[in-house]
Amino acid sequence: MPDDGRDFLFEIGAEEMPPKQINNLAEALAARLKQGIENLGLKFSQVKTFATPRRLAVLIYDLSFKQPDQEVEMRGPAVNVAFDAAGNPTVAAKKFAESCGVSVDALKRFETAKGSWLICKTKKIGQNTSELLPTIVANALKNLPMPRAMRWGFGKYTFVRPVHSIVMLFGREIIQAEFFGIKASNQTYGHHFLHPAAITITEPKQYAEILKQNYVIADFAERRDLIVSKINDALKDIKDVSALINAELLDEVTGLVEWPVALIGSFPENFLELPPEVLITTLEHQQRYFPIVDENQKLTAKFVVISNLASKNPAQVIAGNERVINARLTDAEFFYHTDLKFSLDSYLEQLSGAVFQAKLGSIYDKTLRVGKIAMVISKELGVNQVHTARAVQLSKCDLMTTMVGEFPELQGVMGYYYALKQNEPEPVAKALLEQYLPRFAEDKIPESKIGAALAIADRLDTLVGIFGINKLPTGEKDPLGLRRAAIGIIRIIIEMSLNLDLVALLELAKQNYAALALENTAAANQVLDFIYERLRSWYLDQGGKANIFNAVIAKRPSKLLDFKKRLDAVNYFQNLPDAEALSMAEKRVNNILQKASIKTQATLNPKLFKEIAEKELASAIERLTPVLQKLFRAEDYQAALYKLTEIKPAIDNFFDQVMVMVDDEKIRRNRLRLLSDLHELFNYIADISLL
């Protein structure tokens, strides 16, 4: 704990802020305050954040009362410039001394290998923290991560929502500062309805407890846990049920309330005939309710709503929410039955009027392109071509339905249900659902190969098209989800063990755009590099090593499954006792071949061997080559690399006893040929010199 430390509290009180942003904003504000404090040499013991719909707050414990004093050293002119031949100070020395506030005699000399300079050492007295805090806070407020900021006060002030109060308390001292046109004070406000009056905070440590006494749970994590607890408590009297608590929805609801209360509502059971995803989407996305399921995880006609206060008449609150959800579900039921009046393939022509991307044509055009890729993939995978063709034809049709128009997140899902209702083959319907998998990083991948074919083809078409019009992701910005698309391709191919040639598929995707004459002719190659970079991230995130990835990517395998097999084999090889020595030997071979000023001869000539060691190396290469090639063809890379270690003694003897770059050109060329043959064996799987 810093000496003479005080707690510091900073709070912004605002109108209701976007619930999905408040926790991130609080964390960002805390991080910037912490950085500003550390940059000024101040000490503290802990930083805590608070976030509710109407406040962001940061509490910094045991913050130093003042900056430590600092030794400041300034270097002046060189001694030979500072003094003339008689040893008298020059103008340069006098000016430097004057800038330091001392006499020339008080200046010290600093000796270096390059000469002697005058220096001035002074002590900078640390400022009081209370004087520094306004600037620290002002800097922390700049450029906070707000997707959209509001303006008020004739456009003078900007924040995520209009600000109404500022608390800045250092110990019991109110810091004199002004932000958003509001002077800082020690007054905050309780729950907007239950205690709207001002509350005085006499010292920062009281903050959370005082707000709790006034119906505000200020700690985001505490409030989130409390919501889960209250949901479970509310369900205790209902037998064999539980709530579906989606983590993202839980965070959003936590950002909507300050004093959570759980209530149980219901809706007519006839709505359970709707697809469960429709019910869940309506409950969660539209109303922020938590669905309730039975012991078999089937939806019931009940839900949990989190209210922002304990009402004196909870039945009325429940009834109001039930009226809203009944109306929502009635609309969903209408959309569902309206869509079923039309066959799914009747929507196909309408896709011509739906734009995929202004420069890349309609969704109908995209469907045709995806179909060409998907058919090639399904043929490679040996799956039903008729089912694949039908799945492609129907793949985007549900985008034109009223249900997906209302709930875009149900694309693919509704295609699946409508296809089953219209007696499409189950593999076709399932592929419509799976074409969008995985939707996010940890999502499941397709189970069927037809679904995988659609999913891969769709993503490849998107990547090549978007790269083709030079809309590449930059920095953290990736509005079209291209990184997610690349990771999806990687996961599907590797986790499903699909032996697909990515280079050939990218070339096909590029050819599909021939009529549009993409402005970026290097799109296919750039997409390949882009996927390789995502593969690198994916591999390293799973604990892989960068040098192993670098060794394999040097060979640029065109099949991701083959790439993964090589990574696994090289990882195994690196742990063998002889791996390091062989890697160094290959590096030496590589250097010799690169530096050789003459070309190697076309074939090895045993008659030119002069040393036993080169004969033994040639014999070892000749003996191992057919064995290794057989293992290479079988993609048994681990066995091949293990077998390769048998050549180590012959390599060691060769470099101990043989001079490669001899004067005799024929012998030199022959020995370079021998090393070139060895190099080929070493580098078939990976460039092990990079290990």
Q: What is the DSSP letter of 603?
A: S
Distance CA 25, CA 11 (A): 12
pLDDT tens digits for range 290-338: 999 999 999 999 999 999 998 889 999 999 999 999 999 999 999 999 9
User: Is 566 in contact with 687 (CB distance < 8 Å)?
Assistant: no
Looking at CATH, the fold of the domain delimited by 346-543 is given as Hypothetical protein af1432 (1.10.3210)
243's tokens: 């709530």
pLDDT tens digits for range 144-155: 998 888 998 777
pTM summary value: 0.81
Q: How would you classify the pairing of strands 187-189 and 361-362?
A: unpaired
Distance CA 498, CA 377 (A): 9
200's tokens: 């005085």
Mean pLDDT, the chain, whole residue set:
92
Distance CA 615, CA 37 (A): 70
Q: How would you classify the pairing of strands 115-124 and 70-78?
A: antiparallel
User: Is 26 in contact with 220 (CB distance < 8 Å)?
Assistant: yes
Per-residue confidence (pLDDT) for residue 598, from 0 to 100 = 62
Question: Band of the pLDDT at 209, cuts 50, 70, 90?
Answer: very high
Amino acid residing at 521: T
Residue by residue, DSSP assigns 545-573 as -HHHHHHHHTT--SBHHHHHHHHHHHHHH
Sort residue 42 into left (φ over 0), alpha (ψ -120 to 50) or beta: beta
User: Is 12 in contact with 53 (CB distance < 8 Å)?
Assistant: no
Per-residue confidence (pLDDT) for residue 2, from 0 to 100 = 47
User: Is 423 in contact with 390 (CB distance < 8 Å)?
Assistant: no
43 - beta bridge partners?
A: none
Per-residue confidence (pLDDT) for residue 1, from 0 to 100 = 42
User: Is 418 in contact with 398 (CB distance < 8 Å)?
Assistant: yes
Q: How many CB atoms lie within 10 A of CB 624?
A: 18
Distance CA 516, CA 534 (A): 28
pLDDT tens digits for range 501-544: 999 999 999 999 999 989 999 999 999 999 999 999 999 998 99
Helices (H), 256-362: 276-281, 314-339
Per-residue confidence (pLDDT) for residue 431, from 0 to 100 = 97
Question: Band of the pLDDT at 174, cuts 50, 70, 90?
Answer: very high
Per-residue confidence (pLDDT) for residue 4, from 0 to 100 = 66
Amino acid residing at 441: A
Report the first-to-last Cα separation within the chain, whole angstroms. 46
% pLDDT > 90, the chain: 72
User: Is 434 in contact with 448 (CB distance < 8 Å)?
Assistant: yes
Cis peptide before 2 (omega within 30 of 0): no
Mean pLDDT value of segment 352-359: 94
Question: Band of the pLDDT at 585, cuts 50, 70, 90?
Answer: confident
**Domain parsing of the chain, residue ranges:** 6-66+128-213, 71-124, 220-339, 346-543, 574-690
pLDDT tens digits for range 433-478: 999 999 988 899 999 999 999 999 999 999 999 999 999 888 777 8
Sort residue 323 into left (φ over 0), alpha (ψ -120 to 50) or beta: alpha
**CATH number attached to the domain at 574-690:** 1.10.730.10
Work out the burial of residue 524: count CB atoms within 10 Å of its CB; fewer than 13 is exposed, 13-18 middle, 19 or more buried.
buried
Task: Name which of 41-55, 143-157, 240-254, 430-444 the model is least confident about.
Answer: 143-157
